[in-house]
């Protein structure tokens, strides 16, 4: 019997992920519920984290790199006094401290963690080492040493402080690990720390408050899910939009440079539409756009 390939369905479903489930499991359930041929997500959330998980379907998967590069915001709680093997509450305690920082000390430390910083990812993370995931190596008992990587932190704000914990909000770019911020802030303050709770409140143009409830993702609710889908261009809000001419649209859909109306900086990344339909992402070359990813929407 031939394997059923699934439906051609395109767009974004913004899921408010609950704690206790992995990002790939969420994608799998969305794909199953919609009987979708293709699905992916734009930025992993740890199993214990909640909030925005943007699931791309069909041709929307071609816009995933745009959203992956966008700024994201996290609200999180740091628990002081212990460092764990995972840098969050799921790991075993490896070091403890009786020291506790006051609010003034926390505020004074935050500027060191903003702007362009170097960050060492947690040992239990999805970073690849010689082709293997760091979390797989860690589970096998190997000592994982990861190199520091650059990260842009737009802002790191203290929302509230208690004796044993602090509430913070971070806005950062691609590849940021909140767990590393909690670990390194605890070391800086001399009290040690780990993430107790983590929620992604927005990712690019998508907000957790608009997220679809995970417990509603079921084949019985297929019509409800489809009604919640956003068009693939919803992820392209930060790119200039160009309008293709009729002839330009035909050329672009064939992968060739096509004439467009509008203006952008020469060489700037843009997206192109025709009569409300997204055609491609590409580079503006002065009156024309050279497509890099063409959308085959049928």
pLDDT in tens, 174-224: 989 999 999 999 999 999 999 999 999 999 999 999 999 999 999 999 999
Largest CA distance in the chain: 71
Check residue 236 and report its DSSP letter.
Answer: G
pTM recorded for the entire structure = 0.91
- Interval 80-111: pLDDT, tens: 999 999 999 999 999 999 999 999 999 999 99
Catalytic member of 46, 87, 88, 184: 46
State the pairing for strand pair 193-203/50-57: parallel
Give the pLDDT score at 2.
47
| Beta-carbon count within 10 A of 244 CB | 25
In terms of DSSP bridges, do strands 269-274 and 212-213 run parallel, antiparallel, or are they unpaired? unpaired
**Closest-CA residue to 185 (of 79, 73, 91):** 79
Given a cut of 80, whether residue 141 has pLDDT beyond it is: no
Rounded CA gap, 58 and 9, in Å?
A: 6
The question of whether 46 is a catalytic residue gets the answer: yes
In angstroms, rounded to a whole number, what is the distance separating the alpha carbons of residues 147 and 121? 8
Which helix (H) or strand (E) segment holds residue 139: the answer is helix 134-139
């Amino acid at each position: 019997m031939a394997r059923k390939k699934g439906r051609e369905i395109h767009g974004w479903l913004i899921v408010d992920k609950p704690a206790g489930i992995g990002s790939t499991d969420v994608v799998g359930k969305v794909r199953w519920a919609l009987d979708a041929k293709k699905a992916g997500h734009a930025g992993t959330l740890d199993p214990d984290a909640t909030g925005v998980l943007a699931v791309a379907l069909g041709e929307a998967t071609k816009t995933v790199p745009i959203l992956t590069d966008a700024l994201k915001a996290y609200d999180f709680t740091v628990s002081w006094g212990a460092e764990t093997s995972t840098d969050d509450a799921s790991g075993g305690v490896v070091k403890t401290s009786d020291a506790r920082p006051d609010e003034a000390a926390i505020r004074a430390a935050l500027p060191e963690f903003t702007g362009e910083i170097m960050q060492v990812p947690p040992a239990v993370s999805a970073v690849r080492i010689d082709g293997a995931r760091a979390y797989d190596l860690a589970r096998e008992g190997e000592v994982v040493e990861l190199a520091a990587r650059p990260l842009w932190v737009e802002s790191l704000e203290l929302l509230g402080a208690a004796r044993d914990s602090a509430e913070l909000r971070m806005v950062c770019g691609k590849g940021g690990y909140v767990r590393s911020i909690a670990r390194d802030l605890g070391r800086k303050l001399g009290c040690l720390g780990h993430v107790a709770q983590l929620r992604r409140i927005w990712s690019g143009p998508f907000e957790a408050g608009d997220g679809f409830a995970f417990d509603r993702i079921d084949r019985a609710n297929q019509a409800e899910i489809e009604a919640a889908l956003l068009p693939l261009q919803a992820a392209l809000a930060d790119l200039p939009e160009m309008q293709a001419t009729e002839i330009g649209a035909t050329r672009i859909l064939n992968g060739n440079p096509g004439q467009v109306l509008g203006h952008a900086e020469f060489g700037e990344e843009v997206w192109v539409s025709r009569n409300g339909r997204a055609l491609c992402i590409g580079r503006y070359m002065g009156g024309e756009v050279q497509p890099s990813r063409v959308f085959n929407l049928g």
